[in-house]
Structure 1
Amino acid sequence: MKAFKYILILALISILFACSKDDANNNQQDLQQFNSQICNGISGPEAMYWDGSHGLPTSLAQIPTLTNPGQQFIHSQYPALGFTMPQGYVAQEITDLQSGTIGVNVFRNDNNVVWRYIPSSPFIGQVQINDIVAFEINQIMQFHGFNGSPQVICTTTQQSNEFGFPTTFGARLIRFGNFTALLTVQTHFMPSLGNTFISVTLASGPTTEFNNLVMGTYLPLHWQLLVISDDVRDSDLDGTPDNQDAAPFNPNIQ
């Protein structure tokens, strides 16, 4: 259980998107003019999403919240994994009691948009990150009915030690058919247990919608998983943070 909590904390840290601030006047760039610092040729929200997934400063000026909150999801085995989905979305719980894997798949009703989050999935032995990346990419392309090779727009693989544990981070931004997907994977090998703990975050949707999905769906889902202070949480789930809400506990008043 302690190992699981450690991996869950690392997974949450990995989806925390840094916000850049000008110390003098707190000016924020226009997201549409944002250019990736680590991947040439991408700009706008998808570039901010890519850089943010690497923990780099972005021009995100405020906490992303849903403008159209719908159903709430709470994982049956780990209630801390809970959030509100946009309207028109459904959740599929991922639970494997034998291995200890938990997670969730979120689908838009037309199945053209997917958000997948697995904070912890343990495997016996040391697992290569490229095997996990290939599995996730093949799975999402198959789901969207694409049979071919994707166009890799951005790719990253980084190795480090976190608290003495070998950690590998891998990310891919790909396009295939009419779709774009951003995948991040982390593997944490614990020699004392002989296990590799894997976390996965994947977001896919139509390329023509992807920038809007970043701001309206993916980021609001990510941020709900973070532990945030009372002055920025959305207690009544009406799409307005408490510190901007005239009645933070009344969803009928914003």
Structure 2
Amino acid sequence: MKKHTFLFLLIIAFLLSCNKDDDNDKGNQDFENFQSQQCNTAIGLTGLYWDYANGLPVPITQIPTIKNPGTYFTHSAYPQLGFQMPQGYSAFEVSSNNPPSVGVNVIRNDNQVVWRYVPLTSLPGQVAINDAIAFEANGMFAFYNFNDNFEVLCSATKTSNFGGLQITFGARLIQFGDFTGLVWVNTLYEPVSGFTQMASSVSAAPTTEFNKEVFDTFLPISFQLLVIDDGVRDSDLDGYPDNIDADPFDPNVH
């Protein structure tokens, strides 16, 4: 099976894991009292983001959008990986042949907030899900120069079958020092080629800012990667979806 087929399978798995229930009437109100369905220690927007990452329905009735639109990123080798960032953030392309990988690191200009998404990394052999998670978590620790004790607040692992192949999903919500990070990984092992194809993501911010970054940065970028209806397109890039914008082609009118 060719690599682009693996990438397609992993992206489909990601989209399925991010399936949402938009029929809840709570709307995008204050989620301060939200309680994760899966992890008792995850509350507020942190709990909502944890459930979202685990493919559980969350009470979002409007698609989160960038409120302070900045530059637009498009991956040079994989144009489908493109999205708008908030102001004050920069994107750094992940593109490597050893190991083969495609992705992006979005970093706030003060180096305090990171959103990382790598839809494809190809690794030889069968890689255990815990090893894959550790790879991304250790990279997160290294970015923040953190080498002390950390606490795993939430943990999840599950398997599913897609096209006769087994996909293993794992996620960890980690508090380390003054920061909180959410790491998730999807792995797919293809016995014929002997390679594990991995999709992964990291979202990290100071613990005191994590909830805010969830709704201002992490969710708005993530939702741009989903296949969504044109009715929520933000044509004038003013942070207001076309379906609620009084003039969707004038950034000065909302």
Report the 3-state secondary structure (helix = DSSP H, G, I; strand = E; otherwise coil) of the residue aligned with 1:209.
helix
How many residues end up aligned between the 2 structures?
250
Q: How does 1:10-29 map to 2 (within 5 A)?
A: 10-14=13-17, 16-19=18-21, 21-22=23-24, 26-28=25-27
For 2:105, the aligned partner's letter is: N
**Aligned mates of 2:114, 2:91 — CA distance in 1:** 10
**Conserved? CA contact 1:30–1:59, under 8 Å:** no
Query: Is the 1:179–1:204 contact (alpha carbons within 8 Å) kept by the matching residues of 2?
Result: yes
Q: TM-score, normalised by structure 2?
A: 0.93
Q: For residues 143-222 of structure 1, what are the structure 2 equivalents within 5 Å?
A: 143-222=143-222
2:7: which partner in 1? 4
Partner of 2:240: 240
Contact 2:42 2:50 (C-alpha < 8 Å) held by counterparts: no
| Corresponding residue SS for 1:31 | coil
- Per-residue CA deviation, residues 6-32 of structure 1 (Å, 9 max, x unaligned), is 222223333x2513535xxx3457522
Q: What is the distance in 2 between the residues matched to 1:100 and 1:38? A: 34
Name the counterpart of 2:228.
Answer: 228
**Partner SS for 1:32:** coil
* Offset at residue 5 of structure 1 (A): 2.1
Q: Compared with structure 1, are the counterparts of its residues 118 and 215 closer, same or farther at alpha carbon in structure 2 (3 Å cutoff)?
A: same
- Rounded Cα–Cα distance in structure 2 between residues aligned with 1:34 and 1:252: 34
Unaligned runs of 5+ in 1: none
Conserved? CA contact 1:66–1:86, under 8 Å? yes
Indicate the percent of aligned positions where both proteins have the same amino acid: 49
Unaligned runs of 5+ in 2: none
Match of residue 60 from structure 2: 60
Whether contact under 8 Å (1:94, 1:103) holds in the other structure is yes
Pairs within 5 Å for 1:19-168: 19=21, 21-22=23-24, 26-28=25-27, 30-97=30-97, 99-168=99-168
How many angstroms apart in 2 are the aligned matches of 1:85 and 1:153?
28
Q: Which amino acid aligns with 2:68?
A: N
| Alpha-carbon distance in structure 1 between the residues aligned to 2:159 and 2:231 | 36
Q: What CA RMSD, in Å, does the superposition of the two structures yield over aligned residues?
A: 1.6
Asked whether the 8 Å contact 1:69–1:86 carries over to 2, the reply is yes
